[in-house]
Structures are given as structure tokens and as C-alpha cells.
Amino acid sequence: MLQNSTILITGGTGSFGHTFVPMTLEKYNPKKLIIFSRDEMKQWEMAKLFGNDPRIRFFIGDVRDRERLYRAFTGVDYVVHAAATKIVPTAEYNPFECIKTNVNGAMNVIDAAIDKNVKRVVALSTDKASSPINLYGASKLASDKLFVAGNAYSGEHETRFSVVRYGNVMGSRGSVIPFFMQVKETGVLPITDTRMTRFMISLEQGVELVWHAFDDMHGGEIYVKKIPSMKVTDVARVVAPDAIQKVVGIRPGEKIHEQMVGFEDAPYTYEYPEHFKILPAINEWSQSKSRIKDGVLVPENFVYSSDNNSEWMKEEELAVWIDVNRGKIGAI
């Protein structure tokens, strides 16, 4: 589907973009891949990684700027919407800025995609959008709802929208593994809560889920990857086995466990071998055979959270992953 096409990724200089771009270039050989973001220095640094690859384009712009998106989306076939204000405390203390990017930006992407005849859009979401307790999660839930409803909003246009949701990305900048690696020399690792668990997904798995969404989507689906969990105390022990673990308390807006499917979504959630699919509750789309395909409806009151997960990552598995990926942990 993506072969010989023009693809654009918003927020493309972030962690996801740094993995999505080379993997997609290698697997699908698109005609053009456009990195849309607002940081010129990050674009300049990223451009050096790809030399003079004629398939790569860089486009300075902000998803808050509707007119700039219209210009960028001209001639684009597929869009990955990765731009967001993501850091939980940053969103709590700068709520207006969070809304401008995560909600208003989503609306701008939807409008531009429809009016510029983009074929399909996949928006990245987060576990924090499921039963949100912080502004980041609430803004991403609003974004998810906007992209789902965008399939009705598009009317006679053929533009289709879906969402990909996943949890803690191992090794990404600002996540727990690089943080522990940064402070381990002090001999003390701060632990917010000894009960805390997190889903563990690699950026490569996230990219593959986006590819699957493009190929599978009919419009309005939220895709949730099946991934293992770990206790944060176990992660700390792998990174620094001899360090003291000091409990410091939960940050504002932080959850003890991650959740990606809440029980309210269970009546509309179907299970597949490697993922779940939350179908839209609106317009009876959850009964659509073209969306359900070979899925199996999950049990009543089903919840997919990091503490009730059936799959857990062993400490030895994480240690191997860290050894293999040590050079890029926390770099992007």
C-alpha cells in the first residue's frame, strides 16, 4: 500500500519518526517521505542521517498552523500524525499550550487531510488516553475521538482515519530506562511507587502497528498492540542491580498502572492474535463486519492494563534488549 506513495509524518523528528522513517524507506521504498515539524535544528540534525536521499523532504511547520498544513498536505497520500505535547507535568503546568497542539492540532490535521484528499491518516495515541487522569491523557482522548469522528466528518471524501495506541516506549528520550541509566552512578534510583507497572514496547513494534493500521483500517478503529509488562522496580534492578531504590512518590497526574483498554470500551473491543481493536461506538460502526473481520469480542468488563497483563517481560529479556540498543537509548 505504501509503495511508491507520498507519506508525511507530523512531529517527524521525534523518537517515533527516527524509527519510522528508515524502516519505511527500506520496506516500502515510497516515492517521497516528508518530515513535518517545527524545530529547524532537529530537522538539520536528522537530515545528516539520510545524506542526499532524494526520497526525503523536510517541511518546517506546526500543526497549530492550519494554513501551513494545507500547503504541506498537497499531493500527500498517507499521513502519520505523531506531533504532540507529551510530557505529563509539562501539560499540567501549561494546559493552554497542550490543548493548542493536541486538540486544535488534531482538528487542523483532519481538516487538511480531507480537503487535500489524503487517502488515510493514522494518529498516534497513548495509554494515558484510556480513563485519563491528567491533561495530556484527556487531550489525547479528545484527539482520538476527533480522528474517529473524522470518518463521518469527511462525508463523500474518501479520506479515512484510525488511531494507534501504545504505552511506554523502551529507551525513548524522557522515558524511565534512559533516566535510570543517567542517574545510576549516584547509587540511588528514585522510584515513584513500588507497585508501579508499565507496558514495554519497542519503537520498531510501534512502527509495525502503524503499518498494520494503514493496511487493515476501514475507518475509526483504535489499534492496541499486545505487549508485555514490567514492574518499575524490576526495570531499576536490571539497569543498576547494586543501586538503592528510594521511593519518592508519584508525580502530578501519574498513574500507578498503565491502561490501554478500559471496561467502558469492552463492548466495542475485538481481539486478534497480536493486537486488540476498539471499534467506534458511534453510527453502529462497532457492528461493521468490514471492521471486525476475524476478531473475537472480548469478555464483558474486559480491561487491558499493565498490572493484569497475561504477558510479562523477564529481567533477562530486558537486559538483552538494553545491551543490543545501548547506543541509541535516550538519544532520540
DSSP code per residue over 177-211: HHHHHHHGGGTEEEES-TT-EEE-B-HHHHHHHHH
Please tell me the predicted confidence (pLDDT) of residue 331.
Answer: 60
Per-residue pLDDT of the chain (332 residues; tens, 9 = 90+): 899 999 999 999 998 999 999 999 999 999 999 999 999 999 999 999 998 899 999 999 999 999 999 999 999 999 999 999 988 889 999 999 999 999 999 999 999 999 999 999 999 999 999 999 999 999 999 999 999 999 999 988 999 999 999 887 888 877 889 899 999 999 999 999 999 999 999 999 999 999 999 999 999 999 999 999 999 999 999 999 999 999 999 877 788 999 999 999 999 999 999 999 999 988 889 999 999 999 999 999 999 999 999 999 999 999 999 999 887 776 65
CA atoms of 163 and 280, how far apart (whole Å): 11
Please tell me the predicted confidence (pLDDT) of residue 139.
Answer: 98
Tell me how far CA of residue 146 lies from CA of 39, 133, 216, 246, in angstroms: 26, 19, 20, 41
Cell of 22: 528508515
CA atoms of 64 and 151, how far apart (whole Å): 21
Q: Which residues are catalytic?
A: 128
Please determine, looking at this structure, whether the domain spanning 6-167+203-226+259-304 carries the CATH number 3.90.25.10.
Answer: no
Please tell me the predicted confidence (pLDDT) of residue 304.
Answer: 97
Burial class (CB in 10 A: 0-12, 13-18, 19+), 281: middle
Please tell me the predicted confidence (pLDDT) of residue 158.
Answer: 93
The domain spans of the chain are 6-167+203-226+259-304
DSSP three-state, residue 293: coil
Please tell me the predicted confidence (pLDDT) of residue 330.
Answer: 66
CB atoms within 10 A of CB 261: 24
